Amino acid sequence: MQTATRRLLRRSGAFIAMATVALLPGRPAAQPSAASTELSAIVDAIVTRPARGAAAPATPRPDPATLLSRLRAIDASALSFDEQIDRRFAETILIGRLVTVPTGQVMGEVAYTRMLREQDLLSYDAVGLWDYAHAEFDATERQLEALAHKIDPSKTWLQIANDVKQDHPDPLKMIEAHQEVVNKARAHLISHDLMTLPWPETCTVVRRTPTPGNNPYYGNFSGAASRPPAADGALRGEWQINPFDPSWDDAQQRDYLLEHDWGVILVTAPHETYGGHHVQIMYQMHNPRPLRRAQSTSMFSEGWGLYNEQLFEETGFFPDERIHLRQLQLLLWRNARVIYDVGLQTGRMTRSQAVSLMIDRVGFLRWAAEAEVDSALARPGYFIGYFMGMSEILKMRDEYRQARGAAFTLKDFHDRLLKIGSMPPALVREALMHDVRPAGSQRR
């Protein structure tokens, strides 16, 4: 999530948090414990930042190591369950700040493993993730090969994917084509009762305005926290797409259209809009817990986006198996991200090898592969959140389904997950399964 979105999330939820506290008439407010007070102070220090362009604060911002020491000194037994989850979430945020390396430097084995285990709360060390990522990449390749044989036994999966990429909207109506698919995704979410949209909202596809520095080749999503609601109170998300430019030369036009085919639009719309980032950000804006309202982790937010690509395939959104194959190709891309993130950051892989992986085995154009790998180098650990987060969400879904039995519904599972917040999946799982009982069981 972009910095501006995070800043507005902190502001937008202040009145929501106050509205969640209601005192019974005549009953005095309970005094918070010393542990709760200290936790609140640390949360404030984590989420409070000077406004853009404002003068530096008179008091230096506490360094992460100091805050982490204070956080670990809190008596966790004096905290409520939600406060205990917040304390551990705060710990992961501070550790993330401690393991960050300057741009252009790699993390190394020790720091990368610490990020995995203490920031992302995964069970893997660097070598374990390297092995797991390769195994998952190979498994997705086998799915692609099997599906390609079903579609056309005379072609490889990559040949079929390249055929799919030839089918694109009218380039001068690219924004309208994206909006058409977004509208269909919203209708699908509602008709299949996949999750609740509690607030009036819109999600609009708009032309993206270039910004200084590197720009994403496709576009980006800008959540409802990044702008005021509409006059009628509707929360407004925007999927910002780079428009086609007819003044480009033939090669630029060809490359653009190959990466803006109907397949990628159909697969990406659920990730970015309904029910991916657009929906998740709205729930985060309304989270009553200040830390969870202000902070997010890619291990959940991007994992949730990729999960929605899978969810919409499972629930019949894609029109045919050729689009399903395109979806699996985009999943293979996210598998590759785990390989080259851990590989590049621990010296197991060079930039050239990562680019070759994307070109030769995933099917990216060279310029797109180079841009992708350079983005990963600039944001160590971020891109593993897509596949690893989705994998953890799928595990949670299976566990929650087993616990709920006949009472399980996708809508209930998704609503509960979204209300918990965008935290490392291990914390989300703990909150999800806390006090879960099968339908019909009695409280003791």
Question: If pLDDT is split at 50, 70 and 90, which confidence band does 438 have?
Answer: low
Q: Is residue 13 predicted with pLDDT exceeding 50?
A: no
HEC assignment per residue over the chain:
CCHHHHHHHHHHCHHHHHHCCCCCCCCCCCCCCHHHHHHHHHHHHHHCCCCCCCCCCCCCCCCHHHHHHHHHCCCHHHCCHHHHHHHHHHHHHHHHHHHCCCCCCCCCHHHHHHHHHHHCCCCCCHHHHHHHHHHHHHHHHHHHHHHHHHHCCCCCHHHHHHHHCCCCCCHHHHHHHHHHHHHHHHHHHHHCCCCCCCCCEEEEEEECCCCCCCCCCCEEEECHHHCCCCCCCCEEEEEEECCCCCCCCHHHHHHHHHCCCHHHHHHHHHHHCCCCHHHHHHHHHCCCCHHHHHCCCHHHHHHHHHHHHHHHHHCCCCCCHHHHHHHHHHHHHHHHHHHHHHHHHHCCCCHHHHHHHHHHHHCCCHHHHHHHHHHHHHCCCCCHHHHHHHHHHHHHHHHHHHHHHHHCCHHHHHHHHHHHCCCCHHHHHHHHHCCCCCCCCCCC
pLDDT of residue 441: 58
Q: Is residue 393 predicted with pLDDT exceeding 60?
A: yes
Q: Which residue has the higher pLDDT, 414 or 62?
A: 414
What pTM did the predictor assign?
A: 0.91
Instruction: Round the average pLDDT of the chain to a whole number and report it.
Output: 91
154-169 average pLDDT score: 97
Q: Is residue 4 predicted with pLDDT exceeding 60?
A: no
